[in-house]
Structure formats: structure tokens, C-alpha cells
Amino acid sequence: MTAATSSRQPVLYLSHGAPPLADDPVWTRQLGEWAAGLGRPTGILVVSAHWEADPLTIGAVDTVPLTYDFWGFPERYYQVTYPAPGAPELAEKVGGLLRSHGTPVAHDRERGLDHGAYVPLVEMFPAADVPVLQISMPTLDPGELLELGRRLAPLRDEGVLIIGSGFFTHNLRAVDFGLGAGHAPPSWSAEFDDWGNRALADGDVDGLVDFLHKAPAARLAHPRTEHFAPLFVALGATLDAPGERRSVIDGFWFGLAKRSWQFD
């Protein structure tokens, strides 16, 4: 990691979109303005919806080619690069924090950042000059992910920006892409977004953990929960020292809620 800054960093949960996010002038501007207000972190640790592996695995320790984990898109999306510096020091710190609590840790030095990591980072830190590390989600259990975030929390005081990257609602089979990116959201997406936003504003961690039973249209909004799961890592990193929290990005993209939050 660099010594660019040592200030305490917030924790983010962001909706990362798909590779065509780069073509959306509104969303890209929102992400860029958000990052401009954060200051420069010493490193970035990403937990993405697109990497599940047990035991927890650390990847992208060195600068390796990106993981283009999507299919059927125009070739230009496979030409995107993001050569962020390697993060071996951060990887060592992450491994130490987790092992000290009995969490087994593996390494995959060949796996590059997936699109849940690099798609938003291209817009937020386009210079690609901050070391970036990615770790897998070893489980989708909200309680276990909260505890994972809690164990990673000390990194914040070393200037590390922890990002949980998912999508606030995510049901691709229920989306009509022919309607365009700006069409009105379906009721299940709007209702879940409203409930989740209020639960986060109220600090209702228990309700969020039990979202499959408490939230309206939860199974429609998340037929599988991997895109909501990174939120719990972000929340966990704030549990012992809660601060100000705010919704930074809202609205919908092809009917999916792009709600994104910052936890100070």
C-alpha cells in the first residue's frame, strides 16, 4: 500500500451495474463525484457479488489481467483494462486479521478483479493508481458476513476503503431490457428499494439480516441473494463504531435499484 493518506476511511455499499454502466453519463458522473469526496485511500478492498469461494480467498494480490466474468457483450467491453497496483501488504494484513479469528484463508494469485470490482472503480478512481485487493464471499449468510466485516474493520484506520459491491435489487429474468435503461421500475424493485432504504436509514440491522422474511417482494428482488450479501460485509465493518450513514446514489437502471450507501 502507498502512504498517500492515513485518514480513517468510510465503508461503501454500491450497486455496480454491468459493463455498459460505462455508457451511462448519469451513473458514471455520480460514481466519479462520490469518489472525489472520499479522498485518496491507501488501498481498496472489494467484496463483490461475483466471487463466492469457501474458504475465503484472496485474489488480485498482484497486477494480473481482469476477470471478464460476463458473456454476450460487444467486444469493446472485453478490452477494458484497470492496471491497479498490486496489494501484497494489504493482502498480508487481511490474512492476519482473519486468521487471528480462526477464519481459514486461501489465495488465488491468478484471479484478476471481476466486473463487480473494476466496473465501478474505472469510474471512481480512473487513474488506477490505488492498490486494489479482492476477497471472496465464503458464505451468503448475513450473520456470518456481518462478522467478516467486523473483523476487517481495523483496516479503515489505516486508510483502506472497504467496498461491498452488489446490486440493491437484482432479478435479471424479470427485467425487460427492451424498455430501456430509464423506464419506470417494476413494483417489486421499487418496493424493496424503499424498504431497504428506510431500514438502512433507521439502522435496522436485525431487519436487514432477516430481509428475506421482512422485506416486501424479497424473493423477486433477490431470487439469489449474492448481490445483497456484500451489504452485510459493509455493515459489519461499521458495527463497533457506527457513524453517519447516507444514501449517495438512488434511482433505477433497467428497473433495478442502483441504491448505494456510505457509512462513515
Note whether residue 182 is domain-resident.
yes
- The range of the structural domain enclosing residue 154 comes to 11-263
Contacts 24+ apart (CB under 8 A), 64-68: 64/109, 64/110, 64/111, 64/112, 65/112, 66/112, 66/113, 66/114, 66/115, 66/118, 67/111, 67/112, 67/113, 67/114, 67/115, 68/115
| Per-residue pLDDT, 174 | 87
Q: Which residues of 185-215 are buried (b: 16+ CB within 10 A; e: fewer)?
A: bbebbbbbbebbbebbeeebbebbbebeeeb
| Per-residue pLDDT, 97 | 97
What predicted TM-score, i.e. pTM, was given to this entire model? 0.95
Note whether residue 3 is domain-resident.
no
Q: What is the mean pLDDT of each run of 10 residues along the chain (264 residues)?
A: 63 95 95 96 98 96 93 93 96 97 94 97 97 98 98 98 98 87 93 98 97 98 98 96 93 96 97
Q: Are 217 and 187 in contact (CB under 8 A)?
A: yes
Note whether residue 162 is domain-resident.
yes
Note whether residue 4 is domain-resident.
no
Q: Are 56 and 98 in contact (CB under 8 A)?
A: yes
Note whether residue 5 is domain-resident.
no
| Per-residue pLDDT, 16 | 96
Partners of 245 in the beta sheet?
263
| Per-residue pLDDT, 179 | 86
| Per-residue pLDDT, 7 | 85
CATH of the domain at 90: 3.40.830.10
Structural domains counted in the chain: 1
Note whether residue 2 is domain-resident.
no
Note whether residue 225 is domain-resident.
yes
Note whether residue 6 is domain-resident.
no
